[in-house]
Amino acid sequence: TTVVARHFDETGQLDKEMLSTFTYNEDGKLTRYEFLDHGLWSSYSYNDNMLMREYTSHEGGYPEYDESFNYTYENYKVKTKSHLWSQMNAPEYWLYSYDAGGRLERLDYREGYLDEYHQHWLYEYENDGKTKVESYYTSYQGFVLVMRTVYEYDESYTLLSKYTERFDAAGEITKTTMTRYDYTPDGKEESQITQTLTDGEWINTDIIRYVYDE
């Protein structure tokens, strides 16, 4: 119901604390989020147990804006998503496609003023879905691979690792990263460690650790 983020300065001294609050309905679904120090709040509405709309307002900060996401469904799976915010002239659209097993197979994106979808995510599954390959393409000037990510899951489909390669327009790899996820014996997330391949060596570039009380 509440999260307090503590930000530290370069000397390790506490710089400021930022409070967020979460409100849920009787079914346990999130209905409101507030980031009090930034004048930011979001509301969520549901129909037939499915998220239909997200609305966000950012008042008194910079930049000020409001935005909304709206969803449609087919066979209880997201079919389309649209996004409009006050700093845009036209909405954005996402179109979701699924394979025969109900797994996400393709996600297409376009901006409102475009006639066609020009960003695409294609998904492949191996090892009974414990390996998922996500390939991100753009088609503004031909169908060009931008990024490929391989997700690995354990037997209970808990995420273990994420391996990402980024490509330039010529198809050459420009950046490679690996994130590993570790968990406590009772299944809580314990850490995320991201490494970047640099001059043939894996270098730690981002570390997140979680500590739990009783």
Tens of pLDDT, residue by residue over 39-59, are 899 999 999 889 999 999 998
Hey, what are 154's tokens?
Answer: 């354990």
Specify the pLDDT at position 115: 86
Query: 164 forms bridges with which residues in the sheet?
Result: 149, 177
Q: What is the pLDDT of residue 46?
A: 97
CA dist 10 and 29 (Å) reads 38
- pLDDT one-digit tens code per residue, 86-114: 887 789 999 999 999 999 999 999 998 88
pLDDT value of residue 184:
94
Torsion angle (degrees, nearest 10) of CA 135, 139, 145, 150: -10
Phi, psi of 88 (to 5 degrees): -115, 150
Place of tokens 């969803």: 71
Contact 119, 110 (CB under 8 A): yes
The whole-model pTM stands at: 0.85
List, for the chain, all residue ranges whose pLDDT scores fall below the cut of 70.
none
Do 22 and 28 meet the contact criterion of CB atoms below 8 Å apart? no
Q: Bin 115: left if φ > 0, else alpha if -120 < ψ < 50, else beta.
A: alpha
Sign for the pseudo-dihedral over CA of 169, 173, 174, 178:
positive
Q: Calculate the CA dihedral of residues 28, 29, 35, 40 and round it to 10 degrees.
A: -150
Of the candidates 118, 125, 123, the one whose C-alpha atom is nearest the C-alpha of residue 135 is 123
Reply yes or no: is the peptide bond before residue 91 cis, omega within 30 of 0: no
Average pLDDT over the chain reads 94
Residues 6+ apart with CB under 8 A from 62: none
What whole-number distance in Å separates Cα of residue 26 and Cα of residue 24? Answer: 7
